[in-house]
Structure 1
């Protein structure tokens, strides 16, 4: 009898959630401070990297929490029906499954970011080139601020953090290094060091440092173009190999059919 009641209770909870009688979002918002302890430091950045700035990372985080809680309740009732007893091991399994579901959303974002680091690597030299043009007319902090709106969307959050720290009075190299760590692509550390030194130099030395900065960017752009060219060649080679393989298999099948037909007619 007890198990029938549990099943009915579980079904009632699911129906009430579906009809909005129980507001799962309100429960998550009411306990936001508690759930924020589970939030990863780079979650907002990873959401922006995948979906752009138009997506609310907070809403996605609330959905992750809600999905995990639904799974927790569902697994809890399932374990009760299967084992017909409540034990510490059952609770551990319930929380482990819910935590796995919760973490899977973050893992997917992390995997997407790692997969697209190569794309970020190709975009960085072109952003730095546009920044170089601004630096010719403004100081480095002002140029960084003015570049945010026209920068590739993947860099905007990092640039806001960088300029925010500089405007708050941090004149050390740390904000630049934090940006490089956030975008761990080819030569990002070296370029941020050059950018920091460029911001420190007086007007006389600025022109010299700007020439060095420009030359380094040109080298990065050349590498980026070379990488794109190699990738294009590899894609063409793969297509050619597929076409040759398909043609070869087709010719062999035609020959085989001809041989079989010859033997049949003999």
Structure 2
């Protein structure tokens, strides 16, 4: 007689970070309604090098995983990040924000989020550096992006990381955290809002200061190891159009709230553009 299991391995191509080996080769279990089981339940596709398998029904690991090598987190020297806090007046994105908010408000946002401007490397000079300072105030690295005069990203140029262009950090391996994570201990009772883009977090912080705005830095940037710093915090997700379903599952998994007004009211054109909350706030 066939057995009807409550949970089954997800049959889509979606993969997550394995809780044992850290590689994005982890297939999760879903229940009959399509909801993911908690992060620890699933199977790693790296059967030889990892072998992790945890089944929700019996809450036991039935394949003994190979021990994961825990590498120490590497950090950027604080002085290297501090030297980029200059020459804001000629940067495209900063000039755009000043035109919307005024000089004083933008200066406050620069200081609050520890934004940098590259002045060292010829290929990225005058690019914004979105530094990732963790909950302990240590710098994990910085993502560099070039912006146009209208405040949008220059898509003729890709993004890069500070540790990749500075030869001082050859062999550096980044362990990402939330952009704005360093603000969490400064505002321990404030409601937390998570968006995908660093720029969006900065803009939303100006318009909706009742929240502490941080950025996941990617659509898939809500893994357990990053999100555990938000334990016992009141968190609301503000997904970009097109990311709502993925983030809804994350909200359910962590017991968070999710903002759905955009998803319910967006036009087809807005969905095609993949707008986020900053696009509506700054109109």
If the TM-score is normalised by the length of the shorter chain, which range does it land in?
A: under 0.3
Report the TM-score, using the length of structure 2 for normalisation. Answer: 0.18
Larger relative CO (CA 8 A, sep 6+): 1 or 2?
A: 1
Say which structure is richer in helix. Answer: 1
